[in-house]
Structure 1
Amino acid sequence: MPLSAKDDKVDYFTDNGYGNAVGPPAGVHHNGVTYVAYQGPDEDAWVASYNHETGEWVGPLLAGESAMEQRGNIDNHGKPAMVIDDEGYIHIFYGGHGGTAGLGENKLGNYNNGEQRHVVSTKPFDITSWEMRKNISPFGTYSQVIKMDNGDIYLFFRHGAHRSNWVYQRSTDNGRTFEDVVSIALSKRRTDIAAVDSWYLKFLKAPGDKIAARVYYHICNDPPHVGERQNGYYMVMSAEDQLWRNIHGDVLEMPLTKEYADQHALAVNTGEKWVHGGDLALDSKGYPHFLLYLGDENGKPWGGPKLLHHCRWNGEEWLFHGGDEKTLSKRGNLHVPSPENVNVLMTEGTKLRWWNSKDGGKTLNPGKTYFEVEDGTLMISDFIENAHPDARLLVARKVDNSDFRRVYLVGDNGAIQRSRFEAEILTEAQKALPPVKND
């Protein structure tokens, strides 16, 4: 490659994102460096870092290999989640969609694919070398990780495939060991219809040494399985006593059942609408806000097109509104600087744009375009922890008939650039691979 190519700058930092490459809390900014993780070839965990003072990139580098069997599609359930412990070691949890029977007996759910794995950097704040630790359940999927102010690490996940409990494991020694699994949402067979109760949860570190959770319910039908999901629930755990409470402060019985959650933790009943859950945020008063995407069944296995809705607690009651046709099939990250000022950073084809509300989410109006590309479609990660203004989130871009994605580190001044020579790392063999089904 001619030397001039090394000076050719591009907005993406890598071209080897794979499938739905970004999603969970997969980035941390610490002491002037942003560390990120994403799903790369074969659904492995890849990492990179950017030094905001020197402008130096490190990586992307392979941090951990996945056990996911492709089986004719890209699974996408094991995207990496990152945390940095109090000693500076970087931890990544990834690779699971319920595990397999070959990993042992899953007493809290069923099996599907892959293996939840835990890799740790061998040196503090250094992404160049990694080791695997066999100290968590291999049956996890949708891995999410939170570090508390005292350094305790909480790893949340669904303990298996659809018909499995949601659980957490806690580490009090910087991830060297994890305590036994604790169930917080129960999967159980229903007696009224041929289905099993299932759940989807999203977690957020909250003030006062607490962890907040947005919950929604999934009716896991016997075959044929469809994507019917309903309602929105909310609860908070205090790290001091390990108890979960509802919005009124009442202690909840764990693990949650559907019947109990309907009585004690329900924020919104979505009725006949099918729902997918969205982002969770807290406003300046500590009140929760979360997004839900609602649509009709439309006779389709995963329901019809969905419109964004917003749910919030105002100190006295839950308020629920939305359904503007302008938000059709859009997805976004939630930022709530005050109870009345609600901002959603939404994907719109080739762009990310802020949608803003001054009335607590009742009405959302399009605002400033935050990031834009010439063609393709975009997917975004959660906001990076303790984000630097120049690096708020990861953006993955599908640019052609390929399963590989360009991945961008995007902030208030656009994408952080690097040389094309460093960013384009796909091999010719990978570029030539035919696309597979992208679940």
Structure 2
Amino acid sequence: MRKTGRLLWPLALMLGPAAWAQEAPTQTQPAAGTQPASPTDRWPGKPNPDAPPQTCERLNGYHGIWYSNQPTNDEYRYKYSGGLGTYCAHHIPMAHYAPEADKTFFVYGGMPEDGHLSDEKRTLLICVSYYDHKTGLVPRPSLLMNKKTSDAHDNPVLMLDREGYIYVFVSAHGTARPAYVFKSAKPYDIDTFRMVWETNFSYPQPWYIEGRGFLFLHTRYDAGRKLHFMTSRDGLDWSEPQPLAGIERGHYQVSARFGGKVGTAFNYHPQEGGLNARTNLYYIETPDLGHTWQTAAGEPVVVPLTSVDNTALVRDYASARQLVYLDDLTFDSRGFPVIVYVVSRGWEPGPRNNWRKVYTARWTGNEWQISGLLLADNNYDTGCLHVEGKSAWRLIAPTIVGRNHPPQSPQPYNPGGEMMMWTSGDLGRTWVSQWLTRDSLYNHGYARRPEYAHQDFYAFWTDGHGRQPSESRLYFTTQEGRVYRLPTQMSEDFARPELMPFFPRSAPANPNQ
């Protein structure tokens, strides 16, 4: 980190909100012997559009957070774990190409360079940066705040408005910690930000619709994980949260926009089993910033959805006792949704639940067409889908080549593995594979698609050891499949990402071999 004679913003955040904001301080953990305030007592606070701009400290390299969840007491160690700086699929979007600036802006969950060495040193750093397509360089990442947790569920997302202001939504995980909304002080600039709102939300998914404003899909913890949405004309003055879906114990969702439309696909968590029994696939969309909702066929839907059987149901997986893990949602050239998800027999890692299959659900204009060909060795082998033209698809994900081949992952059966690029010219019926990484030390995972993706920054992700704390590096790929690694050490203000080995396209996929 560069030394300076002034109090830098992240240092002020470490000292507490009172050190830099005109609001009462919020304690992440209650003092010993006291009862914590209820979330409704502490959040949501009122947005503060007049918050003073604060200069971000610049870090000397790119380091992603390492995180683990739910020990399994077996060789796989955790339900999921690894380098999770771009976690999770339900945080959307994490990158955004701005043609006016010719830059791809992105956020990620970082950690100190030595954060993998001990639990005490591991803390989540909310980082913002960009890739300059004119120069091919990246700056030192801006440190927006220290979240004072090692939980990757608190990772950020971002959205740009039509003037180029960057809004960063920093998640909470449940109600134990606050969430934040930041706005850049200048368009297309990551030097200074205003903290315009301290509140509470989880799994943030903000969308800006030209001429209308923001639709903010998110989760609120109220007897489960219930889906909600809010709207705002300017990203500062927000409506009250409106419930979207609350079936039994809740949902996970993925969403996307197409023109003025926003769609969301989600599973549900049964009363028995909860999130580890997540199942079924649903889809609804709104053409008018949440005023009305409808199915892909245009049939009106009354929200919130509260029953398992409803018109939004795409496919019933509960009756077959199959689990549904959502990866991505995008639209084709006609504005029809395409959903990517993994179907599994159980929540536990390891071969006992193999093989997991990667499915796509595509709305044809008349019906949902569902196909599954690619395989995965972990429920959290998360990737992203690009739809190119009328029938060409490009999936970037850490999937495997075939069921009779051992997993190619550095840490098999843990999240991620070697990153692959799969291309299809027939709407996902057949695929051709291309290795993006090979012979890696760590698993690569959580490939994320930028909004308005540029061909030179088509997806980005992190790596990390699947079973024990490790360093975690950030990568991005071009549309062609050339992979770059972001610098972990920077002696200057800007640096050129490192080009990794290139692997040409290989044979068509056959999961039975």
Q: Tell me the TM-score range normalised by the shorter chain.
A: 0.7 to 0.9
2:256 to 200, 204, 208: 204
The one-letter code sitting in structure 1 at the alignment partner of 2:254 is K
Give the structure 2 partner of residue 153 of structure 1: 214
- Between the aligned partners of 1:239 and 1:374, the Cα distance in structure 2 is 46
CA distance in 2, matches of 1:418, 1:197: 39
1:234–1:26 Cα change, 3 Å: same
What are the superposed Cα offsets for residues 189-246 of structure 1, whole Å, 9 maximum, x if unpaired? Answer: xxxxxxx331111110023x11011111111437xx5600111111110126720001
SS of residue in 1 equivalent to 2:460: strand
CA 1:220/1:129 → structure 2, altered by over 3 Å: closer, same or farther? farther
Query: What is the match of residue 490 of structure 2?
Result: 422
Instruction: Report the CA distance between 1:377 and its aligned residue.
Output: 0.7
What is the CA–CA distance in structure 2 between the aligned matches of 1:343 and 1:256, rounded to whole Å?
Answer: 32
Q: Does the 8 Å CA contact 1:213/1:236 hold for their aligned counterparts?
A: yes
**Alpha-carbon distance change, 160 to 240 in structure 1, aligned in 2, over 3 angstroms:** closer
User: Secondary structure at the residue paired with 1:232?
Assistant: strand
Provide the residue aligned with 2:157 in structure 1. 81
**Any conservation in 1 of the 2:475–2:486 contact (CA below 8 Å)?**
no
Aligned to 1:186: 246
For 1:310, the equivalent position in structure 2 comes to 360
Shift of 1:419: 5.8
1:296-307, aligned counterparts within 5 Å? 296-297=345-346, 304-305=353-354, 306-307=356-357
What does residue range 34-49 of structure 1 map to in structure 2 within 5 Å?
Answer: 34-41=104-111, 42-49=123-130
Q: Partner of 1:150: helix, strand, or coil?
A: coil
Q: Which has the higher contact order (CA 8 A, sep 6+)?
A: 1
| 1:93 alignment counterpart | 169
Q: Which amino acid aligns with 1:375?
A: L
Scaled by the length of structure 2, what TM-score is found?
0.67
Closer, same or farther: CA 50–314 of 1 in aligned 2, 3 Å: closer
- Give the drift of 1:142: 0.8
4+ runs deviating over 4 angstroms = 298-301, 416-420
Q: Separation in 1 of the partners of 2:165 and 2:212?
A: 12
- Per the TM alignment, residue 13 of structure 1 is displaced from its structure 2 partner at its CA by 6.1
1:282-334: CA deviation from partner (whole Å, max 9, x where unpaired): 12222221122112138889x9342112211222222223255x444343211
CA deviations 1:152-209 (Å, max 9, x no partner) are 1222110127703211111102x1221111111125xxxxxxxx331111110023x1
- Structure 1 370/13 Cα, relative in aligned 2: closer, same or farther at 3 Å? farther
Where does residue 384 of structure 1 map in the other structure? 450
Unpaired segments of 5 or more residues in structure 2? 1-59, 68-83, 112-122, 400-408, 410-416, 494-513
Report the alpha carbon displacement of residue 39 of structure 1 after superposing the two structures with TM.
0.4
Q: Quick check: 1:177 aligned with 2:227?
A: no
Instruction: State how many pairs are aligned.
Output: 378
CA deviations over 1:86-110 (Å, ceiling 9, x no partner): 332211111301223xxxxxxxxxx
SS in 1 for 2:141: strand
Matched with 1:143 is 204
- Counterpart-to-counterpart distance in 1, 2:85 and 2:348: 29
Amino acid at match of 1:355: W
Instruction: Tell me the distance in 2 between the aligned counterparts of 1:67 and 1:126.
Output: 25
TM-aligned CA distance change 1:423 to 1:281, over 3 Å: farther
Name the structure with the higher strand share. Answer: 1
Of 271-280 and 340-349, more deviation after overlay is shown by 340-349
Residue number in structure 2 paired with 1:22: 86
Q: 1:418 to 1:319 in 2, by over 3 A?
A: closer
Alignment-derived partner of residue 13 in structure 2: none
Deviation at 1:16, TM superposition (A): 4.2
Structure 1-normalised TM-score?
A: 0.77
- Asked if residue 32 in structure 1 is aligned to residue 105 in structure 2, the reply is no
| Structure 1 vs Structure 2 CA RMSD | 3.0
The separation in 2 between residues aligned to 1:167 and 1:241, in whole angstroms, is 10
For 1:51, give the aligned amino acid: D
